Amino acid sequence: MKYIQLFMFTLILVVTAGCSRTFDYRISDSVFIEDVENPGLPIYSEKGYNSFGVYWGLTPWRTGSGHDPSKIVVNDDSCHIHLSGSIDGEIPYTLVFSLPDYTPENFTDLLSLNGKSFNLPTTECAVSLLLGNSRRDLKIMEGEFKIKRVQNLYVDKELQGTVLSGIFSFKATVDDEPTTFSNGRFDMRFGEDNFYYLS
């Protein structure tokens, strides 16, 4: 009987320890669920998965570990949405979508972007490409950046951030070489840790 009680006690300890690790979920982590129709890219979602992906030519570029997190920086008279990821898990790149004349003071103000579309070759939205801290020469020929949904994210009834979800595709020259960025999608959370108001 003693051995059965000792076994049950040990089993309870092991199960409890395992469960505590299972539920150690951090709200800042990225969730990758592969899109079967677009292999290598995350599915399009609006759940705040902190996922981003796009085909650069035929190569998938997406969020993952080992690169800077995405962020929003507001300075002077514009808002800059940084979407960071890597190619083959090694080469870190960041796309920056800059919205002139838009200066939200906090992440909840981003709700005003709900359903907005931006024609990329016009002055309503500029795009930059960064490799680490170095800027690559990027010239947009055609394309669109669309924020399909913006929503506040609550955990246990407490506001944790704002989720921006959307799609984009464009043709451009990178260092004078023509290329296509296609099937782009993002589902990013922005809050106190990655929203910077510098104005």
What is the model's pTM?
0.84
| Residue 28: C-alpha distances to residues 13, 24, 54, 58, 176 (Å) | 29, 12, 21, 29, 36
- pLDDT value, residue 169: 98
- pLDDT value, residue 11: 47
Highest mean predicted confidence (pLDDT) among 11-20, 62-71, 78-87: 78-87
Q: How confident is the model at residue 50 (pLDDT cuts 50, 70, 90)?
A: very high
> pLDDT at residue 48 above 80?
yes
**Contact assessment for residue 72 and residue 190, using Cβ atoms and an 8 Å cutoff:** yes
Domain boundaries, the chain: 2-197
pLDDT digits (tens, 9 = 90+) for 163-196: 999 999 999 999 999 999 999 999 999 999 999 9
Mean local confidence (pLDDT), 52-70: 87
Characterize the bridge pairing of strands 38-42 and 34-35: antiparallel
Characterize the bridge pairing of strands 59-62 and 195-197: unpaired
> pLDDT at residue 17 above 80?
no
- pLDDT value, residue 3: 52
- pLDDT value, residue 67: 62
- Degrees to nearest 5, angle at CA 92 with 197 and 102: 25
**What mean pLDDT is reported for the chain?**
87
- pLDDT value, residue 29: 76
- pLDDT value, residue 16: 46
- pLDDT value, residue 9: 47
Residue 69, both tokens = 């997190």
Determine how many CB atoms are found less than 10 A away from the CB of residue 10. Answer: 10
